[in-house]
Amino acid sequence: MSFVSPLFLWYFMPAVLIAVLVCPRSWRNGIIAVGSLIFYATGAGAFTLLLLACMVVNFAAGPALEPDEWGLRPNDRRRWILIGVIAFDLSILLVWKYAGFATEQIAWFAQLFGGDFPIAELALPIGISFFTFHHISYVVDIYRGERPALRNPVSFGTYISMFPQLAAGPIVRYHEIADQLPQQRSHRLDDIAAGFPRFALGLCKKAIIADSLAPMVDACFATPADEMTFAIAWLGAIGYTLQLYFDFSGYSDMAIGLGRMLGFRLPENFARPYSAVTITEFWRRWHMSLSRWFRDYVYIPLGGNRGGARKTYRNLWIVFVLTGFWHGAAWTYVIWGIYHGALLVIERATGWNRTPAERGPRIARRALTLLLVIVGWVFFRSPDVGHALTIVGHMLTPDVEGLTDVVEAALTNQRLVLLVAALAVFFLPANPVAGPLLESARSKPATVLRVGIMTVGIAYAAILVATGTFSPFLYYQF
């Protein structure tokens, strides 16, 4: 079930919100947990059993991981339990997400010597990358003593399976939400009033902009290598840069808005990333919940920047190779991660990770950062490395060939207008960020934006959804 499907918008979401609103406050977590499992089962089917199995293992391990102030629970025992649970979580992720990729590499190597090796073909469970990271955050935060283990399985089920963030984030670290799980809501109507405009903003981003750009982007990236041109390469690269942002930030806005309506404050995930002046700043603004997760559970445990320059660079490389591989089992994602890791290392080594004070250099650095990000997205979107290199090569080689008939047909007048309008995100200032502004600010610009979205924007988006002109969120595939 997708947030932009009629089933969700017309039936599921209203039913859950009404139940949370009219039922006793103490029923909130139970309603959310049951509703979330139903939400997941409609899309994942039998994989719901896999999610439940992971939840049982992690919930059962929680109390045994808690530090004992009296020293009656040896650290070695807790450490081995932690290692075992994390190994279990990662093994589930590795088998279901990466077995096919691994066997493909083995099969390719075997062919070099005339051998044969079967390739595993496993369906990817929806949201497995996200609920795996939630489980790891839960057990590690308990082990570190940052929050106690949950004794109530309903509260635990609410955290792990909460439908706003289950399929595609934001990634909510356990210590961020632990204090909210036993919360008894006292202002339920206020939460709905604050969260719905945020949800509507995300719906507009997704249905009006991202889904409208998708056919044009698909046509550009599907262009054969011998028909690729400078114009098609740049149109596809810029179009995908905008599509991915409006699609994923739209999902995040919808998730945060839904969470607020249910009484939870989920972490922000985007903060105008295309306004970044450096790649370092870009990663502080793009998919922030993923960056914070890798910082807390990989980068800092590896030593962070405490061991000198060489170890810092090594840790950055490790984190971004893993970040790329987390997104998908393909060399394109690995190369994308290596590419961003290299850019971060170069910035740190040269001092370019610091934002210049003068306006002129800031503008130039912002343009360069955006260019580097766009090139990276080509690898992220392309079906294989060869196709990505073809597109990048044509981006660097001007010609006068123009567009093919297929791309011209996909670039309708409506999509061209939306593409030009969406380009504004490249030029907007870094602040304020629209999502938090909508949710909390009472200024005149915020009010105008809120009224516009709640009238014209949501009405047009609803029409698009009703006519079936919507597609799954891009991050559902991760």
Distance (Å, whole) CA 176 – CA 50: 25
Q: How does DSSP classify residue 147?
A: S
* Sign, Cα dihedral of 117, 126, 160, 271: positive
394 flagged as catalytic: no
Residue 210: count other Cβ atoms within 10 Å of its Cβ: 28
Q: Are 214 and 351 in contact (CB under 8 A)?
A: no
Residue whose token pair is 């004992």: 68
DSSP states of 69-86 = TTS-S-HHHHHHHHHHHH
Taking each helix axis as running N to C, give the angle between helix 230-261 and helix 413-422, from 0 to 180 degrees, rounded to the nearest 10: 70
CA distances from 260 to 194, 198, 254, 270, 436 (A): 7, 9, 10, 17, 12
Cα separation, 246 vs 91, whole angstroms: 33
Q: Give the active site residue among 134, 135, 327, 340.
A: 327
Residues 242 and 205: beta-carbon distance below 8 Å: no
Q: How far, in Å, CA of 315 to CA of 251, rounded?
A: 30
Residues identified as active-site: 327
